Amino acid sequence: MFDYREFVRGKGIILAPLAGVSDAAFRQMCIEHGAQLTFTEMVSAKGLSYANEKTVHLIDMAPNEAYVGVQLFGHEPDTMASQAAWIEDHLGDRLAVIDVNMGCPARKIVSKGDGCALMKDLPLAESIVHSIVSAVSAPVTVKMRRAYDQGPDTAPELAKRAEAAGAAAVTVHGRYATQMYRGDSCWDVIAKVKKSVAIPVIGNGDIRCGADAIAMVEQTGCDSVMLARGAQGNPWIFQDVAWAFQEAGMASFCPPVARFELPNAYDRIDAARRQTMLLHERDPKSVVRMRKHASWYIKGLPGASAARAALNACTWADEFFQVYRDLEDAVARFEAENGPLEPVAPHSTREG
Protein backbone atom coordinates (compact mmCIF):
# COMPACT_ATOMS: atom_id res chain seq x y z
CA MET A 1 0.00 0.00 0.00
CA PHE A 2 1.27 3.47 -0.91
CA ASP A 3 2.57 5.40 2.11
CA TYR A 4 1.89 9.01 1.21
CA ARG A 5 3.47 10.45 4.34
CA GLU A 6 6.76 8.61 3.80
CA PHE A 7 6.70 9.51 0.13
CA VAL A 8 6.13 13.22 0.58
CA ARG A 9 8.98 13.56 3.09
CA GLY A 10 11.41 11.92 0.67
CA LYS A 11 11.69 14.41 -2.22
CA GLY A 12 8.74 12.99 -4.11
CA ILE A 13 8.17 14.21 -7.67
CA ILE A 14 4.49 14.94 -8.25
CA LEU A 15 2.35 15.88 -11.24
CA ALA A 16 -0.03 18.67 -10.22
CA PRO A 17 -3.77 18.55 -10.78
CA LEU A 18 -4.20 20.47 -14.04
CA ALA A 19 -7.70 21.32 -15.24
CA GLY A 20 -8.14 20.30 -18.86
CA VAL A 21 -4.67 18.76 -18.95
CA SER A 22 -3.98 15.95 -16.45
CA ASP A 23 -6.36 13.38 -17.89
CA ALA A 24 -5.55 9.66 -17.76
CA ALA A 25 -3.61 9.65 -21.04
CA PHE A 26 -1.35 12.50 -19.99
CA ARG A 27 -0.84 10.97 -16.55
CA GLN A 28 0.14 7.68 -18.18
CA MET A 29 2.79 9.52 -20.21
CA CYS A 30 4.14 11.29 -17.13
CA ILE A 31 4.37 8.04 -15.14
CA GLU A 32 6.24 6.40 -18.02
CA HIS A 33 8.77 9.23 -17.79
CA GLY A 34 9.23 9.14 -14.02
CA ALA A 35 6.34 10.87 -12.26
CA GLN A 36 6.04 9.21 -8.84
CA LEU A 37 2.57 10.49 -7.95
CA THR A 38 -0.03 11.96 -10.28
CA PHE A 39 -3.19 13.94 -9.65
CA THR A 40 -6.40 13.88 -11.62
CA GLU A 41 -7.83 17.10 -12.94
CA MET A 42 -9.53 19.03 -10.16
CA VAL A 43 -12.95 17.59 -9.33
CA SER A 44 -16.04 19.54 -8.32
CA ALA A 45 -17.51 18.27 -5.05
CA LYS A 46 -20.86 19.71 -6.08
CA GLY A 47 -20.65 17.97 -9.45
CA LEU A 48 -19.93 14.66 -7.75
CA SER A 49 -22.84 15.16 -5.38
CA TYR A 50 -25.13 15.40 -8.40
CA ALA A 51 -23.57 12.20 -9.83
CA ASN A 52 -22.53 14.24 -12.87
CA GLU A 53 -21.13 11.73 -15.39
CA LYS A 54 -18.47 14.11 -16.71
CA THR A 55 -17.29 14.82 -13.17
CA VAL A 56 -17.15 11.15 -12.13
CA HIS A 57 -15.21 10.37 -15.32
CA LEU A 58 -12.39 12.63 -14.12
CA ILE A 59 -11.26 10.06 -11.55
CA ASP A 60 -10.87 7.23 -14.07
CA MET A 61 -7.38 5.82 -13.66
CA ALA A 62 -4.65 5.19 -16.23
CA PRO A 63 -3.56 1.56 -16.85
CA ASN A 64 -0.14 2.15 -15.26
CA GLU A 65 -1.52 4.08 -12.28
CA ALA A 66 -1.36 1.94 -9.14
CA TYR A 67 -2.58 4.89 -7.06
CA VAL A 68 -3.65 8.47 -7.71
CA GLY A 69 -4.26 11.75 -5.94
CA VAL A 70 -7.63 13.46 -6.32
CA GLN A 71 -8.11 17.18 -5.82
CA LEU A 72 -11.55 18.43 -4.77
CA PHE A 73 -12.83 21.97 -5.09
CA GLY A 74 -15.83 23.54 -3.42
CA HIS A 75 -16.68 25.64 -0.37
CA GLU A 76 -19.32 23.67 1.55
CA PRO A 77 -17.70 21.58 4.32
CA ASP A 78 -20.42 18.91 4.41
CA THR A 79 -20.48 18.44 0.64
CA MET A 80 -16.69 18.37 0.44
CA ALA A 81 -16.54 15.75 3.21
CA SER A 82 -19.27 13.51 1.82
CA GLN A 83 -17.79 13.52 -1.67
CA ALA A 84 -14.29 12.85 -0.35
CA ALA A 85 -15.74 9.83 1.42
CA TRP A 86 -17.40 8.70 -1.82
CA ILE A 87 -14.10 8.99 -3.69
CA GLU A 88 -12.34 6.94 -1.02
CA ASP A 89 -15.02 4.27 -1.20
CA HIS A 90 -14.86 4.27 -5.01
CA LEU A 91 -11.07 4.07 -5.34
CA GLY A 92 -10.17 2.14 -2.20
CA ASP A 93 -6.45 1.50 -1.77
CA ARG A 94 -5.78 3.14 -5.12
CA LEU A 95 -6.49 6.55 -3.56
CA ALA A 96 -3.17 8.01 -2.42
CA VAL A 97 -4.39 11.36 -1.10
CA ILE A 98 -7.29 13.82 -1.16
CA ASP A 99 -6.17 17.38 -1.86
CA VAL A 100 -8.31 20.45 -1.20
CA ASN A 101 -8.07 23.11 -3.87
CA MET A 102 -7.44 26.48 -2.26
CA GLY A 103 -5.19 27.73 -5.03
CA CYS A 104 -7.12 27.87 -8.31
CA PRO A 105 -7.31 31.53 -9.44
CA ALA A 106 -9.75 31.04 -12.35
CA ARG A 107 -12.60 33.55 -12.24
CA LYS A 108 -15.31 30.93 -12.73
CA ILE A 109 -13.96 29.08 -9.66
CA VAL A 110 -13.29 31.95 -7.25
CA SER A 111 -16.56 33.72 -8.18
CA LYS A 112 -18.41 30.83 -6.51
CA GLY A 113 -16.27 31.01 -3.36
CA ASP A 114 -14.13 28.02 -4.37
CA GLY A 115 -10.40 27.63 -5.04
CA CYS A 116 -8.26 30.56 -3.96
CA ALA A 117 -11.31 32.46 -2.70
CA LEU A 118 -11.03 30.29 0.43
CA MET A 119 -7.81 32.11 1.28
CA LYS A 120 -10.02 35.11 2.10
CA ASP A 121 -11.98 33.11 4.70
CA LEU A 122 -9.49 31.15 6.80
CA PRO A 123 -12.04 29.86 9.36
CA LEU A 124 -14.09 28.35 6.54
CA ALA A 125 -10.95 26.91 4.94
CA GLU A 126 -10.00 25.28 8.24
CA SER A 127 -13.52 23.93 8.69
CA ILE A 128 -13.40 22.29 5.26
CA VAL A 129 -10.13 20.54 6.04
CA HIS A 130 -11.41 19.36 9.42
CA SER A 131 -14.62 18.01 7.88
CA ILE A 132 -12.78 16.02 5.21
CA VAL A 133 -10.20 14.67 7.65
CA SER A 134 -13.05 13.46 9.85
CA ALA A 135 -14.75 11.73 6.91
CA VAL A 136 -11.87 9.77 5.33
CA SER A 137 -8.93 7.64 6.36
CA ALA A 138 -6.78 8.73 3.40
CA PRO A 139 -4.31 11.58 3.92
CA VAL A 140 -5.79 15.03 3.29
CA THR A 141 -3.69 17.89 1.95
CA VAL A 142 -4.21 21.50 0.88
CA LYS A 143 -2.88 23.30 -2.19
CA MET A 144 -2.71 27.06 -1.79
CA ARG A 145 -1.20 30.18 -3.26
CA ARG A 146 0.84 32.89 -1.61
CA ALA A 147 -2.35 34.84 -0.87
CA TYR A 148 -5.44 35.91 -2.73
CA ASP A 149 -4.24 39.45 -3.49
CA GLN A 150 -1.04 41.42 -3.12
CA GLY A 151 -0.25 42.27 0.47
CA PRO A 152 0.62 40.14 3.49
CA ASP A 153 1.28 36.47 2.76
CA THR A 154 -1.72 34.42 3.86
CA ALA A 155 -0.15 31.03 3.12
CA PRO A 156 1.73 30.59 6.45
CA GLU A 157 -1.41 31.18 8.52
CA LEU A 158 -3.54 28.97 6.28
CA ALA A 159 -0.90 26.23 6.50
CA LYS A 160 -0.97 26.39 10.31
CA ARG A 161 -4.75 26.16 10.32
CA ALA A 162 -4.65 23.23 7.88
CA GLU A 163 -2.14 21.47 10.11
CA ALA A 164 -4.33 22.06 13.17
CA ALA A 165 -7.29 20.61 11.25
CA GLY A 166 -5.38 17.41 10.53
CA ALA A 167 -3.84 17.99 7.10
CA ALA A 168 -0.97 15.63 6.26
CA ALA A 169 0.88 18.17 4.08
CA VAL A 170 0.43 21.43 2.20
CA THR A 171 1.47 22.51 -1.29
CA VAL A 172 2.42 26.14 -1.84
CA HIS A 173 2.47 27.99 -5.17
CA GLY A 174 4.35 31.25 -4.85
CA ARG A 175 2.02 33.60 -6.75
CA TYR A 176 -0.99 35.63 -5.65
CA ALA A 177 -4.30 34.51 -7.14
CA THR A 178 -4.68 37.88 -8.84
CA GLN A 179 -1.34 37.32 -10.60
CA MET A 180 -2.76 34.25 -12.32
CA TYR A 181 0.45 32.94 -13.96
CA ARG A 182 2.15 36.27 -14.61
CA GLY A 183 5.55 37.15 -13.19
CA ASP A 184 7.83 34.86 -11.23
CA SER A 185 6.73 32.51 -8.47
CA CYS A 186 8.01 33.76 -5.11
CA TRP A 187 9.81 30.84 -3.52
CA ASP A 188 10.45 32.80 -0.32
CA VAL A 189 6.85 32.21 0.75
CA ILE A 190 7.38 28.45 0.44
CA ALA A 191 10.29 28.82 2.87
CA LYS A 192 8.07 30.84 5.24
CA VAL A 193 5.44 28.10 5.23
CA LYS A 194 8.09 25.44 5.80
CA LYS A 195 9.22 27.29 8.93
CA SER A 196 5.67 27.73 10.21
CA VAL A 197 4.48 24.09 10.25
CA ALA A 198 5.77 20.65 11.20
CA ILE A 199 3.94 18.80 8.41
CA PRO A 200 5.65 18.37 5.01
CA VAL A 201 5.57 21.23 2.53
CA ILE A 202 5.50 20.65 -1.23
CA GLY A 203 6.93 23.38 -3.44
CA ASN A 204 5.20 24.40 -6.66
CA GLY A 205 5.74 27.09 -9.26
CA ASP A 206 8.28 27.74 -12.04
CA ILE A 207 10.00 24.34 -12.03
CA ARG A 208 10.95 23.82 -15.67
CA CYS A 209 13.91 21.46 -15.33
CA GLY A 210 15.92 19.45 -12.82
CA ALA A 211 18.12 22.42 -11.95
CA ASP A 212 15.04 24.43 -10.98
CA ALA A 213 13.86 21.64 -8.66
CA ILE A 214 17.25 21.55 -6.93
CA ALA A 215 17.22 25.33 -6.57
CA MET A 216 13.73 25.27 -5.05
CA VAL A 217 14.67 22.63 -2.49
CA GLU A 218 17.85 24.48 -1.55
CA GLN A 219 16.13 27.87 -1.25
CA THR A 220 12.97 26.75 0.55
CA GLY A 221 13.72 23.48 2.36
CA CYS A 222 10.56 21.97 0.83
CA ASP A 223 10.09 18.22 1.25
CA SER A 224 8.84 17.39 -2.26
CA VAL A 225 8.16 19.18 -5.52
CA MET A 226 5.03 19.45 -7.67
CA LEU A 227 5.35 20.08 -11.40
CA ALA A 228 2.61 21.78 -13.36
CA ARG A 229 3.06 23.86 -16.53
CA GLY A 230 6.65 22.65 -16.84
CA ALA A 231 5.29 19.19 -17.65
CA GLN A 232 2.99 20.36 -20.45
CA GLY A 233 4.41 18.86 -23.63
CA ASN A 234 7.41 17.78 -21.58
CA PRO A 235 6.89 14.53 -19.62
CA TRP A 236 10.69 14.11 -19.70
CA ILE A 237 10.88 16.72 -16.92
CA PHE A 238 10.14 14.02 -14.36
CA GLN A 239 13.21 12.02 -15.33
CA ASP A 240 15.22 15.26 -15.43
CA VAL A 241 14.20 16.11 -11.84
CA ALA A 242 14.73 12.54 -10.63
CA TRP A 243 18.22 12.51 -12.16
CA ALA A 244 19.04 15.89 -10.60
CA PHE A 245 17.88 14.73 -7.16
CA GLN A 246 19.89 11.52 -7.53
CA GLU A 247 23.06 13.38 -8.50
CA ALA A 248 22.59 15.81 -5.61
CA GLY A 249 22.05 13.01 -3.09
CA MET A 250 18.49 14.18 -2.41
CA ALA A 251 16.59 11.18 -3.76
CA SER A 252 15.62 9.45 -0.53
CA PHE A 253 12.38 8.12 -2.00
CA CYS A 254 13.17 7.98 -5.71
CA PRO A 255 14.52 4.65 -7.03
CA PRO A 256 17.71 4.81 -9.16
CA VAL A 257 17.12 6.37 -12.56
CA ALA A 258 19.05 6.37 -15.82
CA ARG A 259 21.01 9.44 -16.83
CA PHE A 260 18.68 12.04 -18.30
CA GLU A 261 19.04 12.76 -22.01
CA LEU A 262 17.23 15.62 -23.70
CA PRO A 263 14.59 14.55 -26.25
CA ASN A 264 15.31 15.26 -29.91
CA ALA A 265 12.75 16.56 -32.41
CA TYR A 266 11.60 13.08 -33.38
CA ASP A 267 11.27 12.02 -29.72
CA ARG A 268 8.92 14.92 -29.16
CA ILE A 269 6.80 14.13 -32.21
CA ASP A 270 6.72 10.45 -31.22
CA ALA A 271 5.51 11.40 -27.74
CA ALA A 272 2.68 13.46 -29.22
CA ARG A 273 1.79 10.52 -31.45
CA ARG A 274 1.75 8.12 -28.49
CA GLN A 275 -0.42 10.36 -26.34
CA THR A 276 -2.82 10.76 -29.26
CA MET A 277 -3.11 6.98 -29.52
CA LEU A 278 -3.72 6.66 -25.77
CA LEU A 279 -6.56 9.16 -25.99
CA HIS A 280 -7.99 7.45 -29.05
CA GLU A 281 -7.98 4.08 -27.30
CA ARG A 282 -9.91 5.51 -24.34
CA ASP A 283 -12.41 7.52 -26.37
CA PRO A 284 -11.94 8.51 -30.05
CA LYS A 285 -13.95 11.70 -29.49
CA SER A 286 -11.53 12.87 -26.79
CA VAL A 287 -8.62 13.14 -29.24
CA VAL A 288 -9.44 16.81 -29.82
CA ARG A 289 -7.71 17.40 -26.47
CA MET A 290 -4.45 16.78 -28.33
CA ARG A 291 -4.67 20.10 -30.13
CA LYS A 292 -3.11 21.93 -27.18
CA HIS A 293 -0.92 19.03 -26.03
CA ALA A 294 0.58 18.53 -29.48
CA SER A 295 1.25 22.27 -29.79
CA TRP A 296 3.23 22.10 -26.55
CA TYR A 297 5.23 19.07 -27.73
CA ILE A 298 6.29 20.64 -31.02
CA LYS A 299 7.00 24.19 -29.85
CA GLY A 300 10.10 25.59 -31.53
CA LEU A 301 10.52 22.84 -34.11
CA PRO A 302 10.96 23.65 -37.82
CA GLY A 303 7.49 23.69 -39.36
CA ALA A 304 5.75 24.05 -35.98
CA SER A 305 3.78 27.14 -36.99
CA ALA A 306 2.15 25.41 -39.98
CA ALA A 307 1.63 22.27 -37.89
CA ARG A 308 -0.19 24.21 -35.16
CA ALA A 309 -2.57 25.68 -37.73
CA ALA A 310 -3.26 22.17 -39.05
CA LEU A 311 -3.71 20.77 -35.55
CA ASN A 312 -6.47 23.26 -34.80
CA ALA A 313 -8.54 21.64 -37.56
CA CYS A 314 -7.95 18.06 -36.40
CA THR A 315 -10.80 16.05 -34.90
CA TRP A 316 -9.80 12.40 -35.30
CA ALA A 317 -6.61 10.48 -34.58
CA ASP A 318 -5.76 9.88 -38.24
CA GLU A 319 -5.80 13.61 -38.89
CA PHE A 320 -3.35 14.20 -36.05
CA PHE A 321 -1.09 11.42 -37.31
CA GLN A 322 -0.92 13.06 -40.75
CA VAL A 323 0.16 16.34 -39.17
CA TYR A 324 2.91 14.50 -37.29
CA ARG A 325 4.14 12.86 -40.51
CA ASP A 326 4.18 16.23 -42.27
CA LEU A 327 6.09 17.76 -39.38
CA GLU A 328 8.67 14.96 -39.44
CA ASP A 329 9.17 15.69 -43.13
CA ALA A 330 9.66 19.38 -42.35
CA VAL A 331 12.25 18.56 -39.68
CA ALA A 332 14.05 16.19 -42.06
CA ARG A 333 14.20 18.88 -44.77
CA PHE A 334 15.54 21.41 -42.26
CA GLU A 335 18.23 18.99 -41.06
CA ALA A 336 19.21 18.11 -44.63
CA GLU A 337 19.94 21.78 -45.27
CA ASN A 338 21.27 22.87 -41.88
CA GLY A 339 22.54 19.77 -40.10
CA PRO A 340 21.06 17.86 -37.15
CA LEU A 341 19.00 19.78 -34.62
CA GLU A 342 20.38 19.86 -31.10
CA PRO A 343 18.13 18.05 -28.57
CA VAL A 344 16.39 20.58 -26.36
CA ALA A 345 13.70 20.51 -23.71
CA PRO A 346 10.45 22.30 -24.58
CA HIS A 347 10.88 24.66 -21.60
CA SER A 348 13.71 26.91 -20.47
CA THR A 349 14.98 27.21 -16.92
CA ARG A 350 13.51 29.63 -14.38
CA GLU A 351 16.48 31.94 -14.90
CA GLY A 352 16.19 31.85 -18.72
In eight-state DSSP terms, residue 173 is E
Query: 323 in helix, strand or coil?
Result: helix
Helix (H) or strand (E) holding 94: none
8 A C-beta contact, residue 329 and residue 302: no
Helix (H) or strand (E) holding 145: strand 140-147
Query: 102 in helix, strand or coil?
Result: strand
- What does 272-306 look like in DSSP terms, one character per residue? HHHHHHHHHHH-GGGGGGHHHHHHHHHTTSTTHHH
Please state, in angstroms and rounded to a whole number, the distance separating the CA atoms of residues 46 and 249: 44
Count Cα neighbours of 71 within 13 Å in the Cβ-side half-sphere: 26
Task: Find the catalytic residue in 30, 104, 186, 254.
Answer: 104
CA neighbor of 26 nearest in space, from 288, 290, 241: 290
116 is catalytic: no
- What does 214-241 look like in DSSP terms, one character per residue? HHHHHHH--SEEEESGGGTT-TTHHHHH
Please state, in angstroms and rounded to a whole number, the distance separating the CA atoms of residues 234 and 30: 9
8 A C-beta contact, residue 264 and residue 343: yes
Determine phi and psi for 228, rounding to 5 degrees.
-125, -100
CA distances (Å), origin 352, targets 55, 180, 192, 320: 38, 20, 25, 32
8 A C-beta contact, residue 304 and residue 298: yes
CA neighbor of 59 nearest in space, from 32, 31, 83: 83
User: Active-site residues: which are they?
Assistant: 104
